[in-house]
A and B are shown apart, each in its own frame.
Chain A
Amino acid sequence: MSTSWWSWDHAAAVLPLLLDGFKVTLLATVLGTLIALVLGLIVAIVRRSAPRVVSAPVTGVVEFVRMTPLVVQLVFANLVLSPYIDSTLAIGIWVLGIHYTTYMAEVYRAGIDSVPTGQWEAATALSLPRARTWRAVVVPQAIRNTLPALGNYAISMFKETPFFVVIYIPEMVRNAQTYGGDTFRYTEAITLAGLIFLVASYPTSLLIRRLEKKLA
């Protein structure tokens, strides 16, 4: 039995560990998405409307973050921040969120650019303050066109949480590896981890596709 390719006993034993890890994965995805949604919008607005002394450095940082791999950022941030921040998970979530902020900022920017100039002009003709124009006119129209893209980035964030393994955060894949290391049974652990990812992201992507159709 123990020499067979697949063991249901091992599968049953590893599943609770995986589900524990999945909670971490889910938490990281949700918080990372929230960070990226909010910071991404702020970055996009700053790049579009702030004076050059502010927008130029922001653009520089954004490009830098976008052009370096997530894994490197995780290791680097952990190295630099771990003396000050106890929770590696917190570091991981912020790195993930900020990494995706740079992608989401691009999506928002495209959405903002897609709002016709006539909308800005109508707001000026009504003497609406700048902040109100953003809040009531531009952002609602910009976001409508970008929801599907934002959803797709949330899914890809979900699928990149296993990179947390490089800073030893006990998410699902790390738990699978630990179990494998302890028992020399990797197959069940990794297969189940993959299946859990599939079960979670496939329905989400279907939802996003439906949303896309509805908005089109």
Chain B
Amino acid sequence: MPEKTPGPDTAGTPHLEFRDVVKSFGDNTVLNGLDFTVAKGERVTLIGPSGSGKTTILRLVMTLEELTGGYIHVGGVPLQYEEQGGKRVRIPDKRRRRTTTDIGMVFQHFNLFPNMSVLENIVEAPIHVMGLSRSEATAKAEGLLAKVGMEEKRDMKPSQLSGGQQQRVAIARALAMDPEILLLDEVTSALDPELVGEVLAVLKDIAAETDISMLIVTHEMQFARDVSDRVMMFDQGSVVEEGPPAQIFSEPAHQRTRDFLSAVL
């Protein structure tokens, strides 16, 4: 895990860059020429009404959705498409995977592999993607399980765990790949209210102890306030306004942001 450095590096190459990004589902254009960047180590929270395209943005970064137009760069490297001789060319899956190994994602519904134990879930990618030996991967997984408070459950199956426990395992699984960018899409929305706290506490620790860049979608406004360097308010696929959490949450400039915040807070 990268060591914590003092705040985002806004001077260098953006860690993540959306350039004129277009995403349509059939006739429905969700993102229409979106531009934004995330600096190395920066934590950016996306807020906005349902259907505004927040999940779509994260899924594009994870290559779970195909770009319709424009470019996404990760540390300066094109992710899904690149320009070659004035043409926009699709990057093959194999090369995409080389870029995505540095990106991790935690899902709303955990998506643990039910046919594997907790430990197997975590060592799977380190062994088969990073090429660690089983014993190296196991040692690493045990460290991460301790970090998320799940070391006692290493041999259980996901179905034997509570939602909060499953989500903590999913976080450990993502971290086992040493991601430089972590995508969190409403990771507590599927949890019973009493289990939300344990998951957010783990994430706050990770935010405090590492300099992983994060792109976060959440309805937990206090959490967003605590971990974000910047909050971006979306509506209908474009940025309404952005700024430090204190500014966006306390003195939003736009009426649409005020309306949205008064509806969720």
- Where the two chains meet, the residues of A that have a C-beta atom closer than 8 Å to any C-beta of B are 116, 118-119, 121-122, 124-130, 132, 136-137, 140-141, 144
Contact = CB atoms under 8 A, between A and B. Distances in A.
Given A121-B62, A126-B124, A126-B173, 12 more contacts: A118-B109, A118-B111, A121-B111, A124-B100, A125-B103, A126-B177, A127-B101, A127-B125, A127-B129, A127-B177, A136-B116, A137-B113
Nearest to A144: B115
A142 to B, nearest CB: 10
A119 B129 contact: no
A144 B157 CA distance: 15
Contacts of A129: 97, 128-129
A141 B116 CA distance: 10
Given A124-B63, A127-B125, A137 B115 contact: yes
B107 A122 contact: yes
A130 B104 contact: no
Interface string B81-98: 000000000000100010
| Interface SS of B by simple majority | loop
B21 interface: no
Interface residues of B, number: 25
24 contacts: A116-B111, A118-B107, A118-B109, A119-B113, A124-B62, A124-B100, A125-B100, A125-B103, A125-B111, A126-B104, A126-B125, A126-B174, A127-B100, A127-B125, A128-B125, A128-B129, A129-B97, A129-B128, A129-B129, A136-B124, A136-B128, A137-B115, A141-B113, A144-B115
Nearest to A121: B64
Contact of A125 (B93, B104, B109): B104
Given A129-B129, A130-B93, A136-B128, A122 B113 contact: yes
A137 B112 CA distance: 10
Interface of B: 62-64, 93, 97, 100-101, 103-105, 107, 109, 111-116, 124-125, 128-129, 173-174, 177
Contacts of A116: 111
Contacts of A127: 97, 100-101, 125, 129, 177
Contacts of B177: 126-127
B260 to A, nearest CB: 28
Given A121-B111, A125-B105, A132 B93 contact: no
Contacts of A137: 113, 115
Contacts of B107: 118, 121-122, 125
Q: Which of A118, A122, A132, A140 has the most CB of B within 10 A?
A: A122
Contact of B62 (A119, A125, A136, A144): A125
A126 B101 CA distance: 7
B193 to A, nearest CB: 23
A130 B128 CA distance: 11
Nearest to B63: A124
B112 A140 contact: no
Nearest to A137: B113
Contacts of A130: 93
A125 B113 CA distance: 13
B105 to A, nearest CB: 4
A136 B113 CA distance: 9
Nearest to B115: A140
Contact of B128 (A125, A128, A140, A141): A128
A119 B125 contact: no
Contacts of B114: 141
A140 B124 CA distance: 14
Contacts of A141: 113-115
Nearest to B183: A125
A196 B82 CA distance: 67
A64 B116 CA distance: 38
A4 to B, nearest CB: 60
Q: Which of A124, A127, A136 has the most CB of B within 10 A?
A: A127
